[in-house]
Amino acid sequence: MAKDGVLAITWNRIRLLKESPVGMVGAFLVVFWVLVAIFAPWIAPFDPNANNMDAILDPTPSAVNWLGADNSGRDILSRIIWGSRTVLTVAPIAVLCAYAIGAMLGLMAGYYRGWVDLICNRIADILLSFPAIVLYIIFIMKLGPSAGNIILAVIFVATPQIMRIVRGMTLELRERDYVAAAKMRGENALYIMLVEILPNARGPLIVDACLRLGYTAIAIGVLGFLGLGLPPPNPDWGGMVKETYAMMTIYPHMSLFPALAISSLVVGFSLLADGMREISLRD
């Protein structure tokens, strides 16, 4: 596809997203957190791990600590700001890697079929038979909590799901006329899968990617709440909820604000996915 054609499609999608109020709200929420993560060193009022003894005595929101402090006297706003870097680094990397592996396996399974399809499907069946959260817990407990291991866990869990989606679309698209024309031109299988089939599956895959980013953000928060996220004292939204959960009846803001941060980002990805779905239906 020519460069002008790619730019035209990109601009058309941006224009159509502007016509979707739901998609624009989702895009605003996602962009907001992306900007917060990028400019965290400049907008965070305090070091996220700095302890304020005065705040321990009175951790409620004040002119100094706008969202209050946690049970260790650390500024909640600063920790939320720095915590956005964790989720917006780990989630996109994990989802991108899972898509790279899952899409390739799905293309091969759907295009070649036969024993390739059989092996990929049986492996996917085994992995998908376990609840995702169980696989996350087993994986992290075995390798230890760290950002890298969380990425590996997400790849391990998400790859078979993505493979199934891509496989199903490949089975349909491989019968299209443009694929037959590419075969008649003598194009190799890799070219057909990556140039002819995958781009024509982009609409549903983009929607799924947006939703999957939200699911991954939830998974990171759940792992943090279970004590399997980033090791302390690194700011982690799920870990922040876990550390202050016992004091929720006395100081609910300690858990409420990190939980709201997780919810707003997940809602943003979900609404953005709805907007992208509307665009794909018009495409």
DSSP characters over 19-41: T-HHHHHHHHHHHHHHHHHHTHH
pLDDT for residue 192: 87
Does residue 121 surpass a pLDDT of 60?
Answer: yes
Question: Which residues have CB under 8 Å from 52's CB, separation 6+?
Answer: 46, 65, 69, 73, 74, 75
Q: What percent of the chain has a predicted confidence (pLDDT) above 70?
A: 92
Q: Give the model confidence (pLDDT) of 234-265 as tens digits.
A: 888 888 888 877 777 788 888 899 999 999 99
Strand partners, 69: 75
- pTM of the prediction? 0.87
Region of 47 please: left (phi>0), alpha (psi -120 to 50) or beta: beta
Does residue 11 surpass a pLDDT of 60?
Answer: no
- What does the pLDDT average to over 193-203? 85
**What is d(CA 142, CA 252) in angstroms, rounded to the nearest whole number?**
33
Each as own residue / partner, the long-range contacts of residues 115-122 (CB below 8 Å, 24 or more positions apart, any chain) are: 117/167, 120/163, 120/167, 121/167
**Is the CB of residue 170 less than 8 Å from the CB of residue 107?**
yes
For all residues of the chain together, what is the average pLDDT? 85
Region of 235 please: left (phi>0), alpha (psi -120 to 50) or beta: beta
pLDDT for residue 17: 66
Q: Give the model confidence (pLDDT) of 77-95 as tens digits.
A: 999 999 999 899 999 999 9
Q: Calculate the CA dihedral of residues 29, 30, 32, 37 and round it to 10 degrees.
A: 140
Q: Give the model confidence (pLDDT) of 141-185 as tens digits.
A: 888 888 889 999 999 999 999 999 999 999 888 888 888 888 888
pLDDT for residue 6: 39
Coil/strand/helix, residue 235: coil
Decide which of 51 and 150 is more confident: 150
Does residue 4 surpass a pLDDT of 90?
Answer: no
φ and ψ at 2, to 5 degrees? -70, 160
- What does the pLDDT average to over 35-58? 87
Does residue 3 surpass a pLDDT of 60?
Answer: no
Coil/strand/helix, residue 69: strand
Nearest to 210 by CA among 155, 259, 274: 274
Question: Which residues have CB under 8 Å from 81's CB, separation 6+?
Answer: 36, 40, 43, 44, 48
Q: Give the model confidence (pLDDT) of 62-80 as tens digits.
A: 888 888 888 888 899 999 9
Does residue 32 surpass a pLDDT of 90?
Answer: yes
pLDDT for residue 283: 57
pLDDT for residue 246: 75
**What is d(CA 181, CA 187) in angstroms, rounded to the nearest whole number?**
9
Q: Where is mean pLDDT largest: 52-56, 93-97, 116-120?
A: 93-97
- Domains for the chain: give ranges and CATH numbers: 3-282 (1.10.3720.10)
pLDDT for residue 78: 92
pLDDT for residue 72: 83
Length of the chain: 283
**Is the CB of residue 93 less than 8 Å from the CB of residue 100?**
no
